[in-house]
């Protein structure tokens, strides 16, 4: 089975989102990855519920919403209306277990994200509450960063734990995915690759096909 492609819209042209999303679907994207940033948990601000509502209206692709926000439990209900996967950061504050339970209770699949500074073993006890785990291979907050090789060991450790315990969890990686790093991430156990800048170019269709072939 090939890996799934979740395309980050951070690299898109926001004035032509509808056209970009249609092109991504045609190219075989499995999901749209939406990075919500608040300028507090990460040093950048992106978009929020109104933009996501518009995206949902114009696309039937699953929405993989990644909350890079402080104390995300305050906004779970707002985003759950539109999310297929709703992700929070382990490091963002609040009762992580209860927030993951709430996400599932609202009918979404739960995703737990870890930053490069967090070791996989710190979240092993939370895996039964997860439908997906996202390993950041860059520091969250900005697109276009270089892939951190340390993410490969994290992916391998999580994949081993998931297999050993028999969990049904997708393993996702986000940051610096391109023709060189995508095969490494897939070999390390990633089921879903998040690609942003790599996708939004004249070679979108070819790059999508490359990732889907892994």
- State pLDDT tens for residues 188-206: 999 999 999 899 877 899 9
d(CA 76, CA 137): 24
Q: What is the pLDDT of residue 30?
A: 97
Contact residues for 202 (Cβ-Cβ < 8 A; gap 6+): none
Catalytic residue among 20, 35, 64, 191: 35
Q: What is the pLDDT of residues 64-108, one digit of tens each?
A: 999 999 999 999 999 999 999 999 999 999 999 999 999 999 999
Q: Looking at domain 4-212, which CATH architecture does it have?
A: Alpha-Beta Barrel (3.20)
Q: What is the pLDDT of residue 143?
A: 66
- Where residue 2 falls among pLDDT bands split at 50, 70, 90? confident
Q: What is the pLDDT of residues 20-74, one digit of tens each?
A: 999 999 999 999 999 999 999 999 999 999 999 999 998 999 999 999 999 999 9
pLDDT of 157 over the 70 cut:
yes
Catalytic residue among 38, 64, 131, 174: 174
- Where residue 109 falls among pLDDT bands split at 50, 70, 90? very high
Is 174 part of the annotated catalytic residue set? yes
* Contact assessment for residue 2 and residue 190, using Cβ atoms and an 8 Å cutoff: no
Give me the long-range contacts of 199-206 (CB less than 8 A, separation at least 24).
199/7, 199/8, 199/11, 199/24, 199/29, 200/11, 200/12, 200/13, 200/20, 204/23, 204/24, 204/27, 205/26, 205/27
Is 35 part of the annotated catalytic residue set? yes
Backbone φ and ψ for 173, nearest 5 degrees, come out as -135, 145
DSSP state of 44: -
pLDDT of 144 over the 80 cut:
no
* Tokens 């929070």 belong to residue: 88
Listing DSSP states for 136-152 in one string gives ESS-TT-SSPPPPTHHH
What number of other Cβ atoms are within 10 A of residue 13's Cβ? 10
* 3-state SS assignment for residue 74: helix
Q: What is the pLDDT of residue 24?
A: 94
């Amino acid at each position: 089975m090939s890996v799934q492609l979740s395309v980050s819209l951070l690299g898109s042209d926001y004035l032509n989102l509808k056209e970009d999303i249609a092109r991504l679907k045609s190219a075989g994207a499995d999901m749209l990855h939406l990075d919500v940033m608040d300028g507090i948990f990460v040093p950048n601000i992106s978009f929020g519920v109104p933009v996501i509502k518009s995206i949902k209206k114009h696309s039937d692709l699953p929405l993989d919403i990644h909350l890079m926000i402080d104390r995300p439990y305050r906004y779970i209900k707002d985003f759950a209306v539109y999310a297929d996967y709703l992700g929070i950061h382990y490091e963002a504050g609040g009762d992580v277990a209860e927030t993951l339970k709430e996400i599932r209770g609202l009918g979404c699949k739960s995703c737990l994200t870890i930053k490069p500074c967090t070791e996989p073993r710190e979240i092993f006890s939370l895996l039964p509450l997860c439908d997906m785990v996202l390993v950041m291979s860059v520091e969250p907050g900005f697109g276009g960063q270089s892939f951190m090789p340390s993410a490969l060991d994290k992916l391998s450790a999580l994949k081993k734990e998931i297999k050993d315990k028999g969990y049904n969890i997708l393993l996702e990686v986000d940051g610096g995915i391109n023709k060189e790093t995508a095969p490494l991430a897939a070999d390390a156990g990633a089921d879903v690759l998040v690609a942003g800048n790599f996708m939004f170019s004249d070679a979108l269709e070819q790059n999508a096909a490359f990732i889907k072939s892994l």
